Structure 1
Amino acid sequence: MKLTVYSFARSLVNTVLKPIYRIEVIGRENMPADGGVLLCANHIDNLDPPVVGITAPRPVHFMAKEELFAVPVLGKIVPHLNAFPVKRGMSDREALRKGLGILKDGKVLGLFPEGTRSKTGEMGKGLAGAGFFALRSDAHVVPCAIIGPYKAFKKLKVVYGKPIDMVSIKEKKLNAEQTTDLIMSEIQELINNFK
């Protein structure tokens, strides 16, 4: 089997981060084994994407801020790590199309609905993008809680919740913002139950 940049990086990051942060993974079995999955997590640290990447049972595609793709060397590597650029602070139609395509192709799209790291560790308000993807696709929506802090040799938990019942949400005709709020409340519940 050909070793991809993604699988090599995943193995390397796993070797480095797991022992430092004593990462405990709960609920991996909650992620469907196939079909499109919208994986929504809280955002407390720059290390969240690699931590989700090494703990999720399937490869995860992430939206990453456009600026990362302009950084020398890193900008050449990031696309090989299943990341694609998104313009922050505006509606980026190309990124929305790309995200929907990933879900339609039966892959996993990882999002941090808050859009930016929490400075306090408390969860912030989610942006409507998560609700947009949840409503516009037939993907399973899986909440994920990262429970820190990121301190060497202190336990870090990554909890995958059961898929959210999108059928009832679509029947209620919730809009994207309301759907995001519901996803965020599911993440908060995981934090409350497992911290």
Structure 2
Amino acid sequence: MYNLATKTLQLLLSLINGRLKVVNKKILPRNEPFIVVCTHKSWIDVVCLGIALYPIPIHFMAKKELFNKNFIKHLLIKLNAFPVDRSNPGPSVLKIPLQLLKKKKIVGIFPSGTRSTEEKALKNGAIHIASRASVPIIPAVYVGPHTIKDLLGRKRRTIILGDAIHVPKISKDKEAVTETINKVISKAFEDLKIDKK
């Protein structure tokens, strides 16, 4: 269902808004798992990231509240999404993404939450997952419309991918290492936005 949904949405958005521009797709790791972290303001950037990496499927981390209704829950699962408690992330948050990465799958995390504390927690989660799984983090920035009105206005959609960020094994000084990589991710987001300009 993931492939069908991606192709359908790609066609629909192309008809409405034109073709999605993807920058630096060639730098993605080949035949190895990774975590992609992307800026996030609306459902459009989630869809565009999926289209940008296609045919590579992404397993998206999504807030658990979206899984409260059975129909939506089953739909999200078929679309490769898995739930996480953003307000109270604990050790169990690492279990599913680590299992996916072990199976050489790609995990997608959108750390730009609605609250600064949520954003930091999600970035830290991506860092700890990458460290434990020994996989790189690929930063991605979405630039374009965030509303249906802007889509109809033909404002161009772009996904810009950045160089891999390699996270060391975290044993000592966890806070210091996490803070350092957090800054690297934030700087990557800012640099990619500047590159677009």
2:95 aligns to what SS in structure 1? helix
Does the C-alpha gap of structure 1 residues 49 and 86 become closer, same or farther in structure 2, counting only changes over 3 Å? same
Aligned residue number for residue 132 of structure 1: 128
Partners of 1:125 and 1:86 in 2: CA distance: 13
Alpha-carbon distance, 1:12 to partner: 1.0
Partners of 1:138 and 1:36 in 2: CA distance: 9
Q: Identity over the aligned pairs, expressed in percent?
A: 29
2:35 aligns to what SS in structure 1? strand
Structure 2 residue corresponding to 1:42, chosen from 39, 44, 63: 39
**Is the CA contact (8 Å cut-off) linking 2:141 and 2:161 kept in structure 1?**
yes
Aligned residue number for residue 13 of structure 1: 9
Question: Mean alpha-carbon deviation: is it higher for 136-145 or for 91-100?
Answer: 91-100
Partners of 2:112 and 2:179 in 1: CA distance: 12
Aligned residue number for residue 188 of structure 1: 190
Alpha-carbon distance, 1:168 to partner: 10
**Is the CA contact (8 Å cut-off) linking 1:42 and 1:146 kept in structure 2?**
yes
Deviation string 1:6-29 (CA, Å, 9 cap, x unpaired) is 111111111112333332111111
**Is the CA contact (8 Å cut-off) linking 2:140 and 2:160 kept in structure 1?**
yes
Deviation string 1:143-179 (CA, Å, 9 cap, x unpaired) is 1010123322110110111212445999x97522332
Matches within 5 A, 1:1-195: 5-22=1-18, 23-57=20-54, 58-116=56-114, 126-127=120-121, 128-150=124-146, 151-152=150-151, 153-166=154-167, 174-195=176-197
1:175 aligns to what SS in structure 2? helix
Unmatched runs of 5 consecutive residues or more in structure 1: 119-123
TM-score normalised by the chain length of structure 1: 0.83
Question: Mean alpha-carbon deviation: is it higher for 53-62 or for 69-78?
Answer: 69-78
Does the C-alpha gap of structure 1 residues 106 and 116 become closer, same or farther in structure 2, counting only changes over 3 Å? farther
Partners of 2:68 and 2:119 in 1: CA distance: 28
Number of aligned residue pairs: 186
Alpha-carbon distance, 1:69 to partner: 1.4
2:43 aligns to what SS in structure 1? coil
Does the C-alpha gap of structure 1 residues 144 and 108 become closer, same or farther in structure 2, counting only changes over 3 Å? same
